[in-house]
Structure 1
Amino acid sequence: MSKFYEKVTYRDVEEDIQSRKSIDKWIFGLLLVVIGFVPLIVMASVVEVQSPLVTNIGALTGGAKGDLFTYYKSLLVIVVTVIASIMFMMKVLFMNGEIRKTKLNYAVGAFAVAIVLSTIFSPNISIALHGQYNRTDGAISWLCYLALFFIAMNIEYPKKAIQYITYTFVPFVLFNFIIITLNFYGKDLLQKSWAQKLFTAFLPQGAALSEGSTLLGTLNHGNYMSGMFAVMVIMFLAKSIMDKKVFDKICSFILAIISVFVVLMSLSTSGFLTIVAMMIFVLWLAVKNEKRIVALIQVVVFCAISMTGIHVLAGENAKVWDETFGFFVSTNPYKEEVALSKSIFDFENRAYASDNSFELPEVAPSGVGAGSGRVYIWTYIMDLVKERPILGYGLDTLMYNFPHYNKDARANLETETVVVDKPHNMYMGILYGTGIVGFIAFLAIVAFTVWTSLKVVISGKSGLVILAVVVLAFLFQAVFNDTLPGTAAPLFILIGTLFKMVTDKSGNIK
């Protein structure tokens, strides 16, 4: 009888092991959908917005609002998160699955609680819950990011998981390169009738794209394109250095070059600065590589092609220089200086009415402040944080609480009529949205992530360095950019994957 029970028990254990393996494969497949497909979605939608303010400012009023980039991205992220969470709970409850015991769990839990509380006590609860109609980066999205991160940290991966992850990004790189190249050379994809029909397939009867709409890429703005593709540059360049096979090296190198051209054509400095900063780690990987000379030649060739790309593209649009080396050098060799001669009738642009003339107050000159106006925005955000320091205002509600039309806005944002709708900094966004409580918990997650990533990079030998440099690049570019479902969800999955692969069950680094 005892042998019978032993056989049954053994069979049950084996069945649980096989079931866990099977469900982990399905979950990994769902995570790949978020990584590779979500950032590609471009589909117009109409959302009914109920503004918390009574105002005549167009951007702040309610009503039917159109969105092209985030609604369906966030919808798919939510669907995948729900399905993956159900499967994960089945694994834990019915298949003897384990949740890894690590101090990071406390930080994730504390941050999730802070998000919930900040939403409940937000002055703009509905906005804090869903986020702005054209960003969808509120509490629901952030809880999904955390859930996907936690799930990714607690599943088993196939041996070639890192290759699968990098390959999944290939369509994202290629499609966006085509789209942004067409846009850069004045042949925007949205001007094609077939593209308009495709992107507006789910719009209600009578709705259409606004006249003059353009498509830079599958992400909302050049800032996001620049930051995200800087991450792609670092990922594929690191992969090219670490790859053993010549064919894989060449393919990864080409994808890195394509990605850097996307960064240049995005006309945003954040991606360029991220690449410059992360080249320290790339050089370290090259030095630590078994084929050091080959790896260093790859880095030199990459830099040479990138410099050539800046020259060629800046010849087409001088702003390419402004958004790259223009950050360090004030003069732009690709801009023609236009000499303005004074007319004899100009009289130095002054009009005289009488000796006791009345002089209007001097208007501040139009200009851009430090960090393309970011420092100006961050300064006012810190003033807002002082008013609600504990739980903040709720995520993605900045547009409805920022003090617009300041007298110094013209000197920092070019015009005083600019409506600030985002903090342009993931960390400032968390501090503003969730207060000090959430910010501390989030910083704990970031600290764990940075420490783990640096340990992996310093080793310089494991294939995990590809994930490590990607994570570091994402966290660096986040100093200049906000999060979106199409950028944050894939990268939080990669952070969870890195933790799983580099630490043991107790959370200690292997």
Structure 2
Amino acid sequence: MIEVLPLIVLFVIYPVIVKMNIFPTPRGSLEYLVHPLGDANGDFYFYEKLKLLIPLAALSFLIYLLKRKKVRTRYNVGIALYIVGITVSTLMSPFWSIALKGGGNRYEGYFALLSYGVLALAALNISVENVKRVRLLIYSLLAGGVLVSIAGITEFLGRSIYKIPLLAQWILPGEELMGKVVYPSGGYTSMIEVIKGSPQFHNVSASLGNSNYSGSFAALILGILVVLFLENKRLLQKFLLLIVYSVIFALLLASRSRAGMVAFQAGTLLLLLLKIREVRRLLPSFLALLAVSIGIYSSMDYLSGGVIREQLAKDEGAGSSYKELTADKGGLWLEMYEGVLRIKRAEKELEIYDEVGREVIFEEKEGTIYLKGEKYEKISFRRDSRYQNVIHLNLGGESSYPLVVTKGGFKTIGRDGKAEEIVSPERISFLDKIQKKGSKRIYIWSRSIPLLKKTGLFGYGPDTYPIIYPQNDYFGKFISYGTPYMFISKPHNMYLQMAINTGLLSLLGFLLVVIPYLFQSLKIHSSVGEATEREVISLGIFIGIFSYLIAGLFNDSAVSIAPNFWMVLGLGMALNIFIVKERRERGIERLKRRV
């Protein structure tokens, strides 16, 4: 029992811990680089969890060391390589303090990443011969999922459980401290708003820090739940599993995470393909799940006035009519898909030419310069009423891009309000036309993938992505987000995040764990026949892990959800090893009987 106790606590209690911690982020410090929003950072969801994660992971590792019999498997190679990769990356990092403890409303530093690997190793070495122990871990995972779902659903309804006075008092510091803190909302509702107000029907973070994390979390658990429900033959247990499924599916919808929804659908499709030859047996249960899912979706969508349906059908556009803005000593080049504008600084006015050198006619009205011609109807320049040498480039949206006119040409205004050079970082340019897709993920990926040339084998250290990312790509952000000053804190891709932060070696180690696991699971569960309880749980874990890995293509890792993934992965590997061994022994016994 002692060997699974730390994992049970992490499954049940850990995900719902929420408390505000305040950290100073003085200008010029590394902490400010990863959180350049104010003089202090208020974190609700990650640091307090980290304080529990590290000691429990250390306890799990101690229990592992004291075990006489340890599992020998090829998975150990991948886990070891991952741990070596993150360790070397941290030791070599030029941003030591951030790499070690993390920062910027994430706190996924070295000790967090090391805890993930340790927990996977601990779960891999659990004695799965005792099926009750395995069952207890799965029930603990489901219990934690229900608690997080209650937090999410009540938040969605404007009646968050964290509004309970005792909880609210523990979560929030005094008013005098909250007033000094800037926390990134990223368009999401903050925990302060959730507790102090009653906002309804937004993308809920529950207790996990971001609605995308709620989506990944739900996809992981729903994959397991669907299999358990389909294969369970006891009516009461089946009914209870259906209730748990309903609650966690409601969390997925409340999060409105399209990545989570796609991941859940991908996992369900994989399960259908594996069970295609048993469809007649499983069809009533499948139809029951489908009916319940449609009922929950319809109810929540109707209750919220269609916000869930709107999110699913949301079209953010593809790209922009504008590709790039570059500066040289002669002026500016505004590159569009329908030509190029050359903008020069003259004595009193601007001089503007097209791609073949013809002068573009414009007129000025009330301090705004309008270009003539159908091709340029959305382009204008507005003079700043406060600063004579500043003009604002408008491309048809509500926001504008600031230009500072200097003797040498043009500059822009950076996040800190100072004049900066206009830069155009390396990007994957053929993605320009779709860079707004996926909630601007394509934009982020197009600038992140070239960073792999710089980060190489060992990266720049855990949680250093915001420092490495070209935050001064103000024009790229302007045409994608509509504002030059969007702060990019994460790559929205778990694999890119790993490769950029801790390098290709850590990513290789991770892939050497998950890819063999997926293929082994596929081989185990491709056969048809009566499944043992361990095989049913193993299949559920396979579908859940597969779903989470699909979500990882669009979402990054986070302290709030990653421990669940790594523990479930370790348990899945342990079950696979046991099942392969058991089947081999059964085969030998049958062979002996024939002889």
Give the TM-score, by structure 1 length.
Answer: 0.80
Q: Work out the number of aligned pairs and report it.
A: 457
For 1:506 and 1:249, how far apart are their aligned partners in 2?
A: 28
Q: Distance in 2 between matches of 1:384 and 1:183?
A: 38
**Alpha-carbon distance in structure 1 between the residues aligned to 2:134 and 2:466:** 38
Structure 2 counterpart of 1:314: 301
1:235 pairs with one of 205, 224, 247: 224
Structure 2 residue corresponding to 1:123, chosen from 85, 94, 102: 94
Say if 2:26 is the partner of 1:47. Answer: no
- Structure 1 residues 247, 507: CA separation in 2 closer, same or farther (over 3 Å shift)? closer
Contact 1:100 1:506 in 2 (8 A): no
State the partner residue of 2:140.
168
The C-alpha deviation readout for 1:184-228, integer Å capped at 9, x for no partner, is 23334455544311323xx58953487953264111011101121
Structure 1 letter corresponding to 2:503: G
CA distance in 1, matches of 2:211, 2:515: 28
SS of the residue 1:219 aligns to: coil
- Relative to 1, partners in 2 of residues 1:408 and 1:496: Cα closer, same or farther, differing over 3 Å? same
The answer to whether 1:392 aligns with 2:372 is no
Q: Structure 1 residues 76, 506: CA separation in 2 closer, same or farther (over 3 Å shift)?
A: same
For residues 155 and 55 of structure 1, what CA distance do their matches in structure 2 show?
Answer: 39
User: Which residue does 1:468 correspond to in 2?
Assistant: 542
Does 2:477 match 1:409? yes
Matched-pair contact (CA < 8 Å) for 2:152–2:207: no
Which of 177, 185, 194 is equivalent to 1:214? 194
Find out whether 1:280 has 2:269 as its counterpart: yes
> Quick one: distance in 2 between partners of 1:56 and 1:155?
42
Distance 1:474 1:509, change over 3 A: farther
Equivalent residue number for residue 123 of structure 2? 152
C-alpha change, 1:427 and 1:421, in structure 2 (3 Å) is same
Using the TM superposition, give the Cα deviation of residue 143 of structure 1 relative to its aligned residue in structure 2, in angstroms.
0.8
* Residue 245 of structure 2 is aligned to residue 256 of structure 1: yes
TM-fit CA distance, 1:379: 1.5
Identical counterparts, % of pairs: 21
The alpha-carbon distance between structure 1 residues 57 and 386, as it changes in their structure 2 partners (threshold 3 A), is: closer
**Counterparts of 2:510 and 2:31, CA distance in 1:** 34
| Structure 1: distance between partners of 2:163 and 2:7 | 33
- The structure 1 residue matched to 2:156, chosen from 162, 184, 187, is 184
Q: In angstroms, what is the RMSD of aligned CA positions?
A: 3.3
User: Equivalences for 1:84-123 in 2 at 5 Å?
Assistant: 84-91=60-67, 97-123=68-94
What is residue 426 of structure 1 aligned with on the other side?
Answer: 494
The partner residue of 1:370 within 434, 437, 444 is: 437
Higher-Rg member (1/2):
2
In the alignment, structure 1 residue 246 sits paired with structure 2 residue 235? yes
Distance 1:465 1:41 in 2: 30
The within-5 A match list for 1:53-68 is 53=29, 59-60=35-36, 64-68=40-44
The more displaced of 302-311 and 232-241 is: 302-311
Displacement of 1:79 in angstroms is 0.7
Provide closer, same or farther for how the CA distance between residues 55 and 504 of structure 1 changes in structure 2, counting only shifts above 3 A: closer
Equivalent in the alignment of 1:265: 254
Paired with 1:51 and 1:394, the residues of 2 have a C-alpha distance of 21
Q: From 561, 582, 589, give the equivalent of 1:487.
A: 561
What is the CA–CA distance in structure 2 between the aligned matches of 1:53 and 1:459, rounded to whole Å? 57
SS in 1 for 2:438: coil
When structure 1 is superposed on structure 2, of 78-87 and 102-111 the one drifting more is: 102-111
Q: What residue in structure 1 maps to residue 10 of structure 2?
A: 34
- Partners of 2:514 and 2:564 in 1: how far apart? 16
Query: What secondary structure does 2:270 align onto?
Result: helix
Q: Is the 8 A contact 2:542 2:572 kept in 1?
A: yes
1:63-78 equivalences in 2 (<5 Å): 64-78=40-54
Change (3 A) 1:85 1:357: closer
Shift in alpha-carbon separation, 1:235–1:148, aligned structure 2, 3 A: same
Say whether the 8 Å CA contact 1:502–1:509 is kept in structure 2: no
Aligned partners of 1:509, 1:362: CA distance in 2, in Å?
68
Structure 1 residue 144 displacement after superposition: 0.8
The answer to whether the Cα contact below 8 Å between 1:236 and 1:256 also exists between their aligned partners in 2 is yes
Richer in strand (by share): 2
Quote the residue 1:22 is aligned against: none
CA contact (8 A) 1:101 1:505 kept: no
Whole-Å Cα distance in 2 between the matches of residues 428 and 272 of structure 1?
A: 21
Q: Which amino acid aligns with 1:482?
A: D
How far does the alpha carbon of each residue in 1:222-261 deviate from its partner, in whole angstroms, 9 at most, with x for none?
1101121122222211110111211111111221122111
Structure-1 residue corresponding to 2:449: 382
Superposed displacement of residue 87, structure 1: 2.3
TM-score, normalisation: structure 2: 0.69
Which residue identity does 1:147 align to in structure 2? V
3-state secondary structure, aligned to 1:214: helix
Provide the secondary structure at the position in 2 that maps to 1:403. Answer: coil
1:142 maps to 2:113:
yes
Q: 1:42 to 1:410 in 2, by over 3 A?
A: same
C-alpha contact (below 8 Å) 1:70/1:135 kept by paired residues? yes
Q: State how far apart, in whole Å, the 1-side matches of 2:577 and 2:28 are.
A: 45
- Give 3-state SS (helix, strand or coil) of 1:373's partner: helix
Q: Which deviates the most, 229-238 or 400-409?
A: 400-409
Structure 1 distance, partners of 2:276, 2:87, is: 46
Distance in 1 (CA, whole Å) between partners of 2:169 and 2:493 is 35
Which residue among 128, 151, 167 is the counterpart of 1:195? 167
Q: What is the distance in 2 between the residues matched to 1:191 and 1:178?
A: 13
Deviation at 1:509, TM superposition (A): 8.8
Matching residue of 2:508? 440
Q: What secondary structure, in the 3-state scheme, does the structure 1 residue paired with 2:42 have?
A: strand
